[in-house]
Amino acid sequence: MKAVGARLPRYDGIGHVTGRTQYVDDIRVGKNLWAKALRSPHHHASITSLDTGKAEQMKGVHAVVTHLDVPKNVYGHLEGLGVPADEPLLAEGDVRYKGQPIAAVAAESEAAAMAALEAIEVRYEERPALFDIRQALDPDAPQIHQWGNVYPHYGPYNHRRVRKGDIDRAFDDADVIVEGVYRPQAIEQMPMETQVSLVVPEASGRLTIYSCTQAMYFSMGVVAAHLQVPLNKLKFVGGTVGGGFGGKVDTASETISALLALKSRRPVKWRWTREEEFLASATRAPWHIELADAVTKDGWILGRRTLTLHDSGAYARFSPYGVTKHAFHHSGAYTIPNLRFDGFVAFTNRVPTSAMRGFGVTSVSFAVETHMNRIAEVLGLDPWELRLKNANRIGDTSGNGVVLKDPSTVPVTLAAADRVGIELAASFRAMTPEPRSGDLLPAHLVAQQSLNGEEA
Amino acid sequence: MKLIVNGMELDIVSPPLTPLLHVLRDELDITSPKAGCQQGGCGTCTVLVDGEPRRSCLTAVATVDGASITTVEGLGDRDALSPVQAAFHRHYAAQCGFCTPGMVIAATALIQRAGGPVERADVLEALGGHYCRCTGYVKIIDAVVAASRGEVDQIEDLPVSVAGEPEVQPKGSPA
């Protein structure tokens, strides 16, 4: 326990302040080729023709790749769970978001690679695009995805569900119904280091892949799947990441760099521009969240109905997982005995969305905490006291049936009140996370308490 | 063309309009200035040109022919950190580290110009064009103010590795 409570230097701190830390872009392997991608200028279109012949003949160009060069072009992050693949590495047939890669070039300079992209002949037939998840379920909405506009693989359902207690009775028993709509928007993670990879074909036949990924073994699996090679043909080198914040969970550049390295038989580096980072890298998802809470005049939340639409962008990636996490957290840090949650993953013609700092959780926390304030305002109650009253207690049962053994809502809320100088009544200041009793155990919460600590 | 880079006089063969950033990184393999945006917006490519902080990504090398260029590699090394480098390390002002070279260079120029202690407002002004996405800036500002006041612990104060012992041996730990 030498480190606990001690002020330790960063192990990489001196490298950072002396400029010696080697990020992927700082690796030197001798002369490398530079990669650039032809990206869709349209949000939604079919590709009617694609001809890379002229680009291939240009001076300084060593490889051009399209979907025809990818051993397994269409891949899905959730294939291991039995969900079919849905996203092409390089577009074939259709483009579904502006910035989607269609072809890629490796050339002796970035300028030569850019010139070669200009020489690729591609024709599109534009289609109507869909950007608003609220329209995704309309019968006349543009159809975006091979599965329609909603992800259909939640077991027998086309959405993530939570059903707990008797929601209709909670709404019948309520004094007031408090409704709210919350729409957190897309955010680009914007790490200082853009997406970058360097792939070196080794004499052994392996590829060494210098990667800025946040998820080494996951990225290795993605590259191996697309290339259809065993993992022992890939050596991933990473761990030094110039910021990620979730934006480097999805495998952005490694696979295409690897394809170009294999085809050109030379080292290939792909360093995204800042513009590409904003245009084509995954963002945090926009959400549409509708909450309706059945509450009593004295501030008990009897039930909550939730409809959530998650904007997955053009492909599924990890969005179904994000919505599942969202579902787990939709009752917040509070004990609500009756829940009905329906969460949909909707497709739009936006860049695919992905992780950012609390995947699926921050969005619903924003909605829930704003809603708590709204309830307090409607009821004329103190928002701190409303939170403390409904806070998770030891032995309470969460929305997804977990009996809570160490919930921190009460101490964290009290500490937050203290830090911002909020004066609470003595009865609230004295609260602990211990199991409910007395006034804090009204009839509607009795069944929520599992005194023997076993899973409900 | 010639540049004096971190005290070494070097002949430059890149074409005259090549950004100084690419001359440093790709011709000279000096990699601390980063290609963060290559549009002059983020500050991580900042170097000193004859003592003044400049965005190397927007500086054509021909316009600084003969100049003296300083990057963080030229400020100090592990055994002799500059005051700004030591303060950044001590104050945890570097997290992922990608913006750090530009921050350290700009802070060094600020303190040289001021010739003494600087206030937080001075730091905000001087580092206003430098993005950091990890720290939230507070620790960076603390580090620059501390460096300007000479409140910099020497690196020898930091725990050192002992053969056969775990890497981490902080002074004053309960063990």
**Do B89 and A13 count as a contact with CB atoms less than 8 A apart?**
yes
Q: Looking at the predicted structure, is the pLDDT value of residue A15 above 70?
A: yes
Q: Among A5, A14, A243, whose Cβ lies nearest the Cβ of B134?
A: A243
Q: Looking at the predicted structure, is the pLDDT value of residue A117 above 90?
A: yes
Q: Percentage of chain A surpassing pLDDT 90? A: 92
Q: Among B44, B88, B173, whose Cβ lies nearest the Cβ of A17?
A: B88
What is the arithmetic mean of pLDDT over A162-183? 97
CA-based nearest distance B2→chain A, Å: 23
Cα(A353)–Cα(A322) distance, integer angstroms: 10
| Average pLDDT of chain B, as a whole number | 91
Give B-chain residues touching A9 at CB under 8 angstroms: 89, 158-159
Cα(A403)–Cα(A395) distance, integer angstroms: 6
- In this prediction the ipTM stands at 0.91
Let me know: does B57 contact B47? Beta carbons within 8 Å.
no
pLDDT at position A7 is 77
CATH 3.90.1170.50 in chain A, residue ranges: 30-126+189-280
Q: Looking at the predicted structure, is the pLDDT value of residue A29 above 90?
A: yes
**Do B32 and A19 count as a contact with CB atoms less than 8 A apart?**
yes
Return the domain boundaries, chain B: 2-74, 83-153
Cα(A100)–Cα(A113) distance, integer angstroms: 17
Give B-chain residues touching A11 at CB under 8 angstroms: 167
Cα(B54)–Cα(A419) distance, integer angstroms: 42
Q: What is the pLDDT along chain B (175 residues), one digit of tens a residue?
A: 999 999 999 999 999 999 999 999 999 999 999 999 999 999 999 999 999 999 999 999 999 999 999 999 999 998 999 999 999 999 999 999 999 999 999 999 999 999 999 999 999 999 999 999 999 999 999 999 999 999 887 544 455 555 665 554 444 433 3
CA-based nearest distance A194→chain B, Å: 7
Could you tell me if A10 lies within 8 Å of chain B, comparing CB atoms? yes
Q: Where are the beta strands (DSSP E) in chain B?
A: 2-5, 8-11, 46-49, 52-55, 68-70
pLDDT at position A449 is 80
C-alpha radius of gyration, chain A, whole number: 26
What is the arithmetic mean of pLDDT over A424-434? 95
* Nearest chain A alpha carbon to B88: A17
**Do A19 and B73 count as a contact with CB atoms less than 8 A apart?**
yes
pLDDT at position B83 is 95
The fold adopted by the segment(s) B83-153 is: DNA polymerase; domain 1 (1.10.150)
Question: Residue A85: pLDDT band by 50, 70, 90 thresholds?
Answer: very high
Could you tell me if A193 lies within 8 Å of chain B, comparing CB atoms? yes
CA-based nearest distance B88→chain A, Å: 7
Q: Give the other-Cβ count within 10 Å of A73's Cβ.
A: 17
CATH 3.30.365.10 in chain A, residue ranges: 160-187+283-446
Cα(B104)–Cα(B48) distance, integer angstroms: 11
pLDDT at position B165 is 57
Could you tell me if A274 lies within 8 Å of chain B, comparing CB atoms? yes
Q: Among B39, B131, B159, whose Cβ lies nearest the Cβ of A192?
A: B131
Q: Which residues contact A443 (CB under 8 A, 6 or more apart)?
A: none
Q: Give the other-Cβ count within 10 Å of A424's Cβ.
A: 17
Q: Looking at the predicted structure, is the pLDDT value of residue A42 above 80?
A: yes
Name the burial class of residue B167, with classes exposed (0-12), middle (13-18) and buried (19+) by CB atoms within 10 angstroms of its CB: exposed
Let me know: does A49 contact A276? Beta carbons within 8 Å.
no
Give A-chain residues touching B134 at CB under 8 angstroms: 243
Architecture of domain B2-74: Roll (3.10)
pLDDT at position A87 is 97
Chosen from A10, A14, A17, A276 to mutate, greatest number of chain B CBs within 10 A: A17
| Average pLDDT of chain A, as a whole number | 95
pLDDT tens profile B132-143:
999 999 999 999
pLDDT at position B3 is 98
CATH number for the domain formed by residue range(s) A160-187+283-446: 3.30.365.10
Chosen from A18, A34, A114 to mutate, greatest number of chain B CBs within 10 A: A18
- What phi, psi does A93 have (nearest 5°)? 85, -65
**Do B159 and A9 count as a contact with CB atoms less than 8 A apart?**
yes
Q: Which residues contact A243 (CB under 8 A, 6 or more apart)?
A: A189, A191, A192, A193, B96, B98, B133, B134
Question: Residue A452: pLDDT band by 50, 70, 90 thresholds?
Answer: low
Question: Residue A450: pLDDT band by 50, 70, 90 thresholds?
Answer: confident
Choose which CATH entry (3.90.1170.50, 3.90.1150.10, 3.90.1570.10, 3.40.50.2300) describes domain A30-126+189-280: 3.90.1170.50
**Do A243 and B98 count as a contact with CB atoms less than 8 A apart?**
yes
Residue among A261, A246, A441 at smallest CA distance from A325: A246
Q: Among B78, B89, B168, whose Cβ lies nearest the Cβ of A2?
A: B168
Residue among B7, B32, B148 at smallest CA distance from B84: B148
Residue among B89, B74, B72, B88 at smallest CA distance from B144: B88
pLDDT at position A281 is 96
Residue among A136, A69, A57, A144 at smallest CA distance from A103: A69
What is the arithmetic mean of pLDDT over A76-105? 95
Query: Which sign does the torsion angle of CA A237, A241, A246, A248 carry?
Result: negative
Record the tokens describing residue B20, joined without a space: 């100084």
Question: Residue A1: pLDDT band by 50, 70, 90 thresholds?
Answer: low
pTM reported for the whole predicted model:
0.92
Could you tell me if A245 lies within 8 Å of chain B, comparing CB atoms? yes
Residue among B119, B120, B141 at smallest CA distance from B130: B141
CA-based nearest distance B65→chain A, Å: 24
pLDDT at position B169 is 43
